[in-house]
Amino acid sequence: MLSSCDTLIRAGTLVTQDENRTILNDAAVAVTGTAIAAVGPWSELGGTPARETLDFSGDIVLPGLVNTHTHAAMTVFRGLEDDLPLMDWLTGHIWPAEARLTPEIVVTGTLLACAEMLATGTTAFCDLYIFERAVAETAAAVGIRAVLGEGVFDTPNASYSNLDQAFAKVDDLADFCRGRALLTPCLVAHSVYATGHDTLARLAGLARDRDLRLTLHAAESASETAMCLERFGARPVEILRALGILAPNLLVAHAVDVTKAEISLLAESGTAVAHNPRSNLKLASGMAPMAAMRAAGITVGLGTDGAASNNTLNMFSEMNQAALMAKAREHDPTALPAQAVLDMATIGGARALGLSDCGSIEPGRQADIVALDGRAPNLQPPHRPVSHLAYAASGHEVRLTMVAGRVLYRDGRFTTLDYPALLKRMDKVRKWALGA
Ligand SMILES: [Zn+2]
């Protein structure tokens, strides 16, 4: 019996995502400091003295969702241009606009992203962008968990004009993250075609030395593969293998155009994958062989990618799409069932990012917790909560988002983010994005 706790949450249905995928009805989660102190029936824990009790007795409580691949600040480009091929979209629209990026725009875009993520149940995200220090400062101010890396390209951009400056920014970001428990630095290359291979090897070396994740886009589409074959005489995953950087600390985003042999390479090396089904569908990049990757034992998380290619940062949409895409791809309705996509959005994502104390609701884990309005018509009748989370929830049923024991969003209100003030900046953002 627990003598006391800071916050006691009463859950109508508690989806723990523990090893046995235990689901409890009328349950309690006791939170002390940043961590979960106890989990059990309300009848046993309900009497625990607590500074605050949160009543979600009609609701579904689950671990916070983990977005393993995004570019938060790209919310400023949401809906600016759609319906174009990846390379035309990148080179004709996104990269020219990004050439005018400033840290201020990155802060505004990241704040908007944090608002959207918190309102739809995401408690941790992995971010790859430039001016990443501005992303880190924003995430720290909001109180959301983040794994962050300055994207290193060989070509100059708005954030730096040469590689020395780029690596100085990598170090500056690491310095900022030091001592901040919610922030973890990572190393980021854009891809095997936009980051030089010497630079990739250098980033991988730094990741090894500092025991950090390295992440990049790879094998996103057949056209990327064709470009790599023409320029380098090898496919993207083959290039990663030749560079010796396939490893458990590598997180590959996309992995859409991969062969059976490449799936084996990823599995044998322990490389993790961030699956971005909605971005892949919207850019017509293809359908990643997710059922085969999971069968091979690859650690897989879900990602939204940036809001310019999705166009939301809503992990419930991503779970739904991941399940449907796998079924359509395999012509098999048993491919990637509801529990599998929930696993990818929670413990799988946490594992992919190296967040070993996140992703489930168990004693000792970080108190990253979400509650969904169980009375919503689309979540009734209460047959199987995991089915509802994967196939029926929209994300807009979220009533509570807690990160490390702190309530950041509750019943439509943000506790650390001034949303009305943020909305006032959107006209300015629109003018900036249009080049005015
Ligand atoms: Zn991306």
SS3 helix, strand, coil % of the chain, rounded to 5? 40, 25, 35
Residue 39 is assigned to a structural domain of this protein: yes
My answer on whether 303 and 181 are in the same domain is: yes
Quote the CA–CA distance of 81 and 59 in Å, as a whole number.
38
Domain of 88, CATH number, reads 3.20.20.140
Which among 218, 210, 270, 209 is positioned nearest to 240, based on CA atoms? 218
pLDDT tens figures, 280-297: 999 999 999 999 999 999
Name the percent of the chain lying above pLDDT 90: 93
Quote the CA–CA distance of 436 and 432 in Å, as a whole number.
6
113 CA → ligand 1 middle, Å? 14
My answer on whether 101 and 113 are in the same domain is: yes
Residue 38 is assigned to a structural domain of this protein: yes
Q: What is the pLDDT of residue 361?
A: 98
My answer on whether 59 and 82 are in the same domain is: no
Q: What is the pLDDT of residue 234?
A: 98
The label of the residue with tokens 């920014």 reads 169
My answer on whether 98 and 204 are in the same domain is: yes
92 CA → ligand 1 middle, Å? 17
State the chain's mean pLDDT as an integer.
Answer: 96
Residue 368 is assigned to a structural domain of this protein: yes
Domain that holds residue 390: 5-63+361-404
306 CA → ligand 1 middle, Å? 6
295 CA → ligand 1 middle, Å? 24
110 CA → ligand 1 middle, Å? 15
Q: What is the pLDDT of residue 79?
A: 92
Computed from CA positions of residues 138, 141, 147, 148, in that sequence, does the dihedral angle turn out positive or negative? positive
314 CA → ligand 1 middle, Å? 15
Residue 321 is assigned to a structural domain of this protein: yes
60 CA → ligand 1 middle, Å? 31
Neighbours of 179 (CB within 10 A): 7
The H or E element containing residue 152 is: strand 145-152
pLDDT tens figures, 249-289: 999 999 999 999 999 999 999 999 999 999 999 999 999 99
For ligand 1, a single-atom ion, the residues with CB < 5 A are 305
What average pLDDT does range 325-338 have in this prediction? 98
For 201, residues 6+ apart whose C-beta sits below 8 A from its C-beta are 243, 244, 245
Which among 162, 160, 113 is positioned nearest to 135, based on CA atoms? 113
Residue 416 is assigned to a structural domain of this protein: no
394 CA → ligand 1 middle, Å? 23
pLDDT tens figures, 85-110: 878 888 888 888 899 999 999 999 99
My answer on whether 371 and 238 are in the same domain is: no
208 CA → ligand 1 middle, Å? 22
What average pLDDT does range 154-176 have in this prediction? 95
349 CA → ligand 1 middle, Å? 16
My answer on whether 178 and 76 are in the same domain is: yes
What average pLDDT does range 169-198 have in this prediction? 97
| Boundary (domain end) residue, out of 352, 375, 393 | 352
My answer on whether 27 and 167 are in the same domain is: no
Domain count, the chain: 2
SS3 397: coil
Please tell me what DSSP assigns to residue 301: E
The label of the residue with tokens 């990618």 reads 305
138 CA → ligand 1 middle, Å? 20
Q: Taking 70 as the threshold, does the pLDDT of residue 436 lie above it?
A: no
205 CA → ligand 1 middle, Å? 22
Q: What is the pLDDT of residue 266?
A: 98
Q: Taking 90 as the threshold, does the pLDDT of residue 76 lie above it?
A: yes
40 CA → ligand 1 middle, Å? 39
Neighbours of 419 (CB within 10 A): 15
Domain of 29, CATH number, reads 2.30.40.10
The label of the residue with tokens 């892949």 reads 280
Q: What is the pLDDT of residue 95?
A: 83
My answer on whether 69 and 15 are in the same domain is: no
My answer on whether 126 and 217 are in the same domain is: yes
My answer on whether 40 and 129 are in the same domain is: no
422 CA → ligand 1 middle, Å? 24
My answer on whether 75 and 158 are in the same domain is: yes
Neighbours of 163 (CB within 10 A): 17
Quote the CA–CA distance of 164 and 162 in Å, as a whole number.
6
Residue 70 is assigned to a structural domain of this protein: yes
Q: Taking 90 as the threshold, does the pLDDT of residue 324 lie above it?
A: yes
At residue 434 the predicted structure's pLDDT band, cuts being 50, 70 and 90, is: confident
| Boundary (domain end) residue, out of 326, 352, 378 | 352
Contact 125, 72 (CB under 8 A): yes
Q: Taking 80 as the threshold, does the pLDDT of residue 225 lie above it?
A: yes
| Boundary (domain end) residue, out of 352, 381, 396 | 352
Which among 130, 133, 213 is positioned nearest to 180, based on CA atoms? 133
381 CA → ligand 1 middle, Å? 37
My answer on whether 201 and 344 are in the same domain is: yes
Please give the structure tokens belonging to residue 360.
Answer: 């489930």
Residue 222 is assigned to a structural domain of this protein: yes
Q: Residue 349: phi, psi to the nearest 5?
A: -65, -40
Q: Taking 90 as the threshold, does the pLDDT of residue 400 lie above it?
A: yes
Residue 144 is assigned to a structural domain of this protein: yes
